[in-house]
A and B are shown apart, each in its own frame.
Chain A
Amino acid sequence: MRRLIAAASAALVLGLTGLSPAALAATEGAALPHTDFPHVGVFGKYDKPALKRGLQVYREVCSACHGLKHIAFRNLTALGLSDDEIKAIAETYQIQDGPNDEGEMFERAGRPSDYFPNPFANEKAARASNNGAYPPDLSLITKGRDGHEGYVYAILTGYEEPPADFALGEGMNYNKYFPGHQIAMAPPLNDGQVTYEDGTEAKVATMAHDVVTFLAWAAEPELEERKAVGLKVLIFIGLLTAVLYAINVRIWSRVT
């Protein structure tokens, strides 16, 4: 039995360290500057004030070019917003609906059941407005990039003057962390770009941290519930397994 446990844990360690190519790929570029988000880790929870500030950054900055199509306004209750606040936010957006009885599409104010609208009608329109580049939807951005939250934060804060011998394409920007270092997105954040409702000073690092926290929530809204349920499940199955082991030993003691 002891040997079995040793073998199983060895296999687990191997699995955790050796066989994760995604983790390896993330370290190809420079080391990521900030990866220590409070929601990462076994008992980690989202930083609620940062989530709300991050929503503000997304709405006032990112949403000019990036969609968030998997998030409906009603989902914002998870950030601690009241129904009235959510309604007010939804109403600031114009949503295309229809066709009406005359067969025409029309615009109306958003409702809590609507999803964040895309800033562009389609991919071609998005590319036409962005120097040929397509700003990706942000709903899954922290889940869909190697390096996860740390990578998105690094991109937002990684703009620099290019080295003297670097040939930067026209309309492109130099980013320390982007693969190939040429990124079409202009530096999105500048100190004081938003005026935080809670009075926090809007430094680039703070805004980046906040919006990355918000986007992590958008990608994994189930995270807190998942970990909380997981803890209970593990305690239950752990106790059950211990009891079953005790019964097992007892029954096997009869064998001669």
Chain B
Amino acid sequence: MSSPVPRNKVAQWIEYRLPVFSWVSHNLTDFPEPKNLNYWWNFGSLAGIMLVWQIVTGIVLAMHYTPHVDMAFNSVERIMRDVEWGWLIRYSHMNGASMFFAVVYIHIFRGLYYGSYKSPREILWWLGIVLLLLIMGAAFTGYVLPWGQMSFWAATVITNLFSAVPWIGGGVVEWLWGGFGVDNPLLNRFYALHYLLPFVIVGVVVLHIWALHHRRSNNPLGIDIKSEKDTIPFHPYYTVRDMFGMGAMLFVLFIFIFFIPNMLGETINYVPANPMQTPSHIVPEWYFLPYYAILRAIPDKLGGVIAMLVSILVLFILPWLDTSKVRSARFRPIYKQLFWVFLADCIVLGWVGAQPAEGVNIVISRICTAYYFAHFLIIMPILGKLERPRPLPESIHEAVLKKRGPAQAAAAMEKH
């Protein structure tokens, strides 16, 4: 690539004062990426796209929504019926939340499989966990806004969790509510927070990408970039791949938006909130179900809340719990198996979180919760010491050539 700054006089005038052209070149077009990234590396950019998707649809919804207990539900119906393409905007936002979580979870499990959290990417990983927590906050406050039955009762159940805090719990809950029950003050502040959080998320995303660009992307081999031969410029290779990924994701998202828009939601949320009538079965959205299962698995209220929090906070110390020197599961024969066991454990937790907490379900949720924590606190530290990793390749470049087969490799060698 030639000089990043165009010959154009205006461009040079701008570049001298604010170096946008060299910035774009350095961070985007010419940015060197490992040449062996697979499609699982698409999900970071997909999460970024979903963030923009949610902000754009959300701002339009905010123009038509009324955060008042007597009007919120009706204003949402008004959007669905009378606002031009309102149903499309709302269903896009509603199902967009699920899509956002789906790609974020895949992104996180990608990181777990390929050891992306290990040195020198611990802070990058921390920022990712902060993002997960912020996204959960945005999703929860947003779910309350339509003020349907499940909105109201989800807000009631979750805010009541704070009453488990010893001594000051009751006061904290009243402070959160802004009154003596879930009512208009809570709806107002949740609306304010729901509008605020996405922009906080944008800020942390900037830090996340900064950290990423400083220490560069991990890759499926989990070995460091050693020379320029191991890399290719971001553009056009990863721009085109990310655009293809976006198309594929939107295809799935549009199936939900246009044909099964309410499948992931709760039927009862189309009944206006009624503080006098508790639904027989209070369940969160699918993306919160594993945590909900952990919460309910512990027989003690405070213990359940702590376990639920720790289930995410434990990720912060994962870089030190995992004692293996090797990043990628490709070269860790036992971890490679246990990764899938852990994923299955999370899926079972999600399933049991949707079931009534009775009979065998309680036993299943307790076993899975125990395994969840054992995976991080027992298996990861011990496994790293015991496991004998397979030999790592010399470099990314060599591994890529080997994979291509000898004929192509020879041809490529000649070119160099």
Contact = CB atoms under 8 A, between A and B. Distances in A.
Interface in B241-268: 241, 243-244, 247-248, 250-252, 254-255, 257-259, 261-264, 266-268
A23 B26 CA distance: 51
Given A22-B267, A248-B241, A234 B258 contact: yes
Contact of A227 (B35, B91, B259, B266): B259
A145 interface: yes
Contact of A18 (B77, B252, B270, B351): B351
B286 interface: yes
A241 B255 CA distance: 14
Interface residues of B, number: 51
Given A144-B268, A145-B267, A230 B254 contact: yes
Given A144-B268, A234-B251, A245 B415 contact: no
Interface string B352-395: 00110000000000000000000000000000000000000000
Per DSSP, chain A at the interface is helix
Contacts of B244: 241, 244-245, 247-248
Given A8-B252, A22-B267, A229 B237 contact: no
B236 interface: yes
B237 A20 contact: no
B39 A4 contact: yes
Greatest chain A CB density within 10 A among B237, B244, B347, B415 is at B244
Per DSSP, chain B at the interface is helix
A139 B77 contact: yes
Interface residues of A, number: 49
B270 A19 contact: no
B377 to A, nearest CB: 27
B143 interface: no
Interface stretch (A9-17, A93-101, A158-166): A9-17
A122 to B, nearest CB: 13
Interface of B: 35, 39-40, 74, 77, 80-81, 87-88, 91, 102, 232, 236-237, 240-241, 243-244, 247-248, 250-252, 254-255, 257-259, 261-264, 266-271, 280-281, 283, 286, 289, 347, 350-351, 354-355, 412, 415-416
